[in-house]
Amino acid sequence: MLCHTSRSPTGSGEQVPRYPVLERPLPPGLATLGDYGELIGYQETYLHWRWHPREGFPEPVGETPARGGHGRRPKLVYEIKQLDAFRATQDDLWGRRKMTRVTTTLDLDLRFTAEQFAALAEVEPAVLALYQALDGFPAAEDGTYRLGDLVAYWNTRPIVLEEHTGDERMTLGQIAGVLGVARKTVSQYKDDDPDFPAPDGDGRYRIGDVVDYLNGRPGRRGPAAGDEA
């Protein structure tokens, strides 16, 4: 709800709000950076320092009231759709794993067929179909998908084996080559995580086990899977 205020500088140190003051719970579609971070799996400080300084970052539409003493500042409030739209224009705000990502300035509420999105993502429809068969792929409505849902999924998509079967056995270096990543991307968890797949007696790993582990690895968080916070 909107809280009308006519505060002005006084001897108590109060300041005039820069934006309309909004009480919690915030209206639907609005969020502080902390709220938004919880939605997509980031910490508020990461969004503030990594996202906020960039050109095109949306302007606040309000602020929450300052709470308590000791100069605690109000939290700025943003439109979630504007934050989503900003993120969709950036190819490096989706995770650390190396992959091709879709960036767009199109309205994220547009409806796309799978074929149209494959063209936008510059992949063959048959490649996209591999992901459509997985749990977690956005739901279709009358044969189309919301563009924003497709972008968020594609830019954090799981690893899918296109030319190999999960039962093949390889060294970690060979698996990294198949996945198109540096060896350390695959091997960095081997010594630190007891849940990392065990090799066979010859030191080779079942590639499907390693892929399943990487897709569910520690630090993977919802739509923002794999990004540092």
Each residue's pLDDT tens digit, 69-85: 555 689 999 999 999 99
Residues 105 and 145 in one domain: yes
Q: Rank 94-98, 114-118, 200-204 by mean pLDDT and report only the highest.
A: 114-118
Q: Mark which of 88, 116, 148 sits at the end of a domain.
A: 88
Per the prediction, the chain carries an average pLDDT of: 87
The lowest-confidence range among 32-36, 110-114, 179-183 is 179-183
Residue 99 to residue 155: CA distance in whole angstroms: 8
Contact residues for 172 (Cβ-Cβ < 8 A; gap 6+): 183, 186, 187, 190, 205, 210
Residues 142 and 204 in one domain: no
At residue 121, the pLDDT reads 98
At residue 144, the pLDDT reads 98
Q: Which has more confidence, 116 or 8? A: 116
pLDDT exceeds cutoff 70 at 137:
yes
Residues 20 and 65 in one domain: yes
Residues 8 and 84 in one domain: yes
The structure's pTM equals: 0.80
Number of structural domains (the chain) is: 3
Answer yes or no: is 164 within a domain.
no
Q: Rank 63-72, 112-121, 210-219 by mean pLDDT and report only the highest.
A: 112-121
Residues 6 and 32 in one domain: yes
Both structure tokens of 161: 């084996």
User: Tens of pLDDT along 192-213?
Assistant: 889 999 999 999 999 999 999 9
pLDDT exceeds cutoff 50 at 4:
no
Answer yes or no: is 163 within a domain.
no
- Domain range for 193 is 169-224
Q: Are 137 and 131 in contact (CB under 8 A)?
A: yes
Both structure tokens of 173: 């270096």
